Chain A
Amino acid sequence: GAGVSQSPSNKVTEKGKDVELRCDPISGHTALYWYRQSLGQGLEFLIYFQGNSAPDKSGLPSDRFSAERTGGSVSTLTIQRTQQEDSAVYLCASSPDRGRVHLHFGNGTRLTVT
């Protein structure tokens, strides 16, 4: 079946502009995670959605970052007033439920802020 889909795959934006990154999780997966990966680095947790529960936003680095998950499916990560330090690959992952499950990752959106 289809995997996790992220769009766009690449995004170049000017400093100060807003960007929206989209994630389509695997159908039926209730959990959805966003991570940020800077060049050659590990994954930095941003936000986690589980079903209809309130999201865990503890990893969002500033109030310029926000995310929504509509209808328990598609998620959008929005970065307002982008800065050069926001340049990174933004990875989305989903999993079917809590417990001994593993994550299914998309290929990410590479964001470059000029």
Chain B
Amino acid sequence: SQQGEEDPQALSIQEGENATMNCSYKTSINNLQWYRQNSGRGLVHLILIRSNEREKHSGRLRVTLDTSKKSSSLLITASRAADTASYFCAEYNNNDMRFGAGTRLTVKP
């Protein structure tokens, strides 16, 4: 079964704007990860945040984690048309990696 839910299901923005995607999960986690999937391809790992971390940055990506609310957010700043893809969060707990349904991001040039 799938775990977690991303919000929104779909997001459309203009190039240069910021995109924020949210993820809620249900169990305790060792870490939470975000992945990106281009159409017809496999998923690519973007960033991992440990359960004892609250915020992490990687380039134009910023991830936050609130374990009290069992939620995480992914912020993509200064978006580009090439950021168009589906974004998934994945909760990792003791070898168990479960993915949400994803957010479909469209960045219009």
Are the chains A and B members of one assembly?
yes
The interface residues of chain B lying within 8 Å CB-to-CB of A59 are 1
The interface residues of chain B lying within 8 Å CB-to-CB of A44 are 1-2
Identify which of B40, B42, B48, B102 contacts A93 (C-beta below 8 A): B42
Using CB atoms and an 8 Å cutoff, list the residues of chain A in contact with chain B.
Answer: 4, 31, 33, 35, 40-45, 48, 50, 56, 59, 91, 93, 98-100, 102-108
- CA distance in complex: A4, B42 (Å): 10
Identify which of A31, A35, A43, A106 contacts B95 (C-beta below 8 A): A31
Q: How many A-B residue pairs have CB under 8 A?
A: 63
Known: A4-B42, A45-B1, A100-B31. 18 other contacts (CB 8 A): A33-B97, A41-B101, A41-B102, A42-B99, A42-B101, A43-B88, A43-B99, A44-B2, A45-B99, A93-B42, A98-B95, A99-B30, A100-B30, A102-B48, A103-B43, A103-B45, A107-B40, A108-B41
Residue total for B at the interface (Cβ-Cβ under 8 A): 26
Chain B at the A interface: mostly helix, strand, loop or mixed? strand
- Whether A48 pairs with B95 at a CB distance below 8 angstroms is yes
Using CB atoms and an 8 Å cutoff, list the residues of chain B in contact with chain A.
Answer: 1-2, 30-31, 33, 35, 40-45, 48, 50, 88, 90, 94-102, 104
Identify which of B42, B45, B96, B102 contacts A102 (C-beta below 8 A): B45
- CA distance in complex: A41, B86 (Å): 10
- CA distance in complex: A103, B45 (Å): 7
